[in-house]
Amino acid sequence: MDGSTVIEDPPVLTDGVVTLRCLTADDVDALLAGEDDDQVRWLSEGHRSERPPTTAWVAQNRAQWRDGGPRRHLGVLDAATGELAGTVEAHLALPDLPRGTANVSYAVLPAWRGRGYAVRAVRLLRRWLAERTDATSAVLRVDAANVPSLRVARDAGCLPPEPGPDGLLHHVLPLREPARVVLVCGPAGSGKSTHAARLARAGWAHLAFDAAAWAAGHREHPLPADVAARVHEDLRARLVGLVGDGVDVVVDTSFWSRASRASYRALLAPLGVVPVTHHLVTPRAEVLRRLAARTGAGPDDVVVPPDRAAVYLDGFEDPTPDEGPLVRVPPA
């Protein structure tokens, strides 16, 4: 069987925030109560679930583990409360996918959305697939109109998507590779810290230039050149240490110039890591509106005078695909 495993009991996997375990009959009520229009549209082909077939489906999932079938389905639980928050599945032998590719799908119940649980579940399942199967990659197949699911694929660290023959966007997630690094790129006010924080909630280590400068007592833009150099030096050292430990990292600074992005790529190249640039493509008017509303309340709220904001925007060098992997992130 493609991507086969030895027959084993279903695992229990956790990262301390979510726990994955096989569903039981006791989960049926939560599954039915948590089904909403989005799940019906994207996962159930427009059909509402009913108790008898849902109960049978839960039993079939356990049987797949017991009998060595191709589907590896697990419930996603909130680790603190034990409540069911969603589901995640790897199909190890989907007929229309290449040999060695596991199809990964997921769903989060409405009450638990927006917490990064789907990304955490995908990353836990990815680790299990790498350790316990002969699959070499996973693919997340997502409808182009399913914006939340597109974000999951992006934040889980998938490669930039390509159109599939089924009309869906195929996001490939290699199973065995070095730690991943995302360079969050955009001018002040573009939403970099919000985007990086979403990745951090999903388990990425977060290195933030503004937070480091604020902790060192600096409250104004721009920083003196020598101070900025020291902050970057510290971030780079911490980045190398984290990547060396196999930790996925999001680096949150402006990366306003092609040269700044190239310097981080050169730093990571000896470690076998090719960073992905996430470019925040927020419109100029929105950036200026956000900056005008700042009050200096914290590292993500440092006041930027209008003339300085204009300099930042006019001097910003947009990243291009020839630099390396690039994901354009629309305004939040």
110-123 pLDDT per residue, tens:
999 999 999 999 99
Sorting pLDDT into bands at 50, 70 and 90, what band is 244?
confident
Express as a percent the part of the chain with pLDDT over 70: 96
Stretch(es) of the chain classified as CATH 3.40.630.30: 13-174
- Nearest Cα residue to 2 out of 93, 74, 96, 68: 93
Token digits of residue 132: 């316990």
Express as a percent the part of the chain with pLDDT over 90: 77
Sorting pLDDT into bands at 50, 70 and 90, what band is 221?
confident
Sorting pLDDT into bands at 50, 70 and 90, what band is 4?
very low
294 phi/psi in degrees, rounded to 5: -70, 150
Is residue 222 reached through a cis peptide bond, with omega within 30 degrees of 0 on the bond before it? yes
SS (H, E, C) the chain: CCCCCCCCCCCCEECCCEEEECCCHHHHHHHHHHCCHHHHHHHCCCCCCCHHHHHHHHHHHHHHHHHCCCEEEEEEEECCCCCEEEEEEEECCCCCCCCCEEEEEEEECHHHCCCCHHHHHHHHHHHHHHHHCCCCEEEEEECCCCHHHHHHHHHCCCCCCEECCCCCEEEEEECCCCCCEEEEECCCCCCHHHHHHHHHHCCCEEEEHHHHHHHCCCCCCCCCHHHHHHHHHHHHHHHHHHHHCCCCEEEECCCCCHHHHHHHHHHHHHHCCCCEEEEECCCHHHHHHHHHCCCCCCCCCCCCCHHHHHHHHHHCCCCCHHHCCEEEECCC
CATH number for 181-329 (one of 3.40.50.10110, 3.40.250.10, 3.10.290.10, 3.40.50.300): it is 3.40.50.300
State the pLDDT at residue 45.
66
37 pLDDT higher than 60: yes
Stretch(es) of the chain classified as CATH 3.40.50.300: 181-329
Residue 3 near residue 139 (C-beta atoms within 8 A): no
3 pLDDT higher than 60: no
Check residues 145 and 3 and name the one with the higher pLDDT: 145
Enumerate the β-bridge partners of residue 251: 183, 207
Sorting pLDDT into bands at 50, 70 and 90, what band is 49?
confident
State the pLDDT at residue 46.
66
State the pLDDT at residue 9.
80
The upper half-sphere exposure of residue 319, i.e. CA atoms within 13 Å in the direction of its Cβ, equals: 27
Lowest mean pLDDT among 114-118, 142-146, 219-223: 219-223
320 pLDDT higher than 50: yes
pLDDT in tens, 52-77: 999 999 999 999 998 989 999 999 99
Residue type, 317: E
State the average pLDDT over residues 127-139.
92
State the pLDDT at residue 8.
65
Edge-to-edge strand ranges of the sheet holding 326-329: 205-208, 249-252, 181-185, 276-280, 326-329
Phi-psi region of 10 (alpha: psi -120 to 50; beta: other; left: phi over 0): beta
Positive or negative: CA dihedral 24, 21, 159, 253? positive
- Nearest Cα residue to 13 out of 106, 91, 121, 95: 121
Sorting pLDDT into bands at 50, 70 and 90, what band is 78?
very high
Q: How far is CA 298 from CA 212, 290, 293, in A?
A: 11, 14, 13
Token digits of residue 246: 């196999």
38 pLDDT higher than 90: no
| CATH code, residues 13-174 | 3.40.630.30
State the average pLDDT over residues 123-146.
93
Q: Which pTM does this prediction carry?
A: 0.62
Q: Tokens 């009913």 — which residue?
A: 50
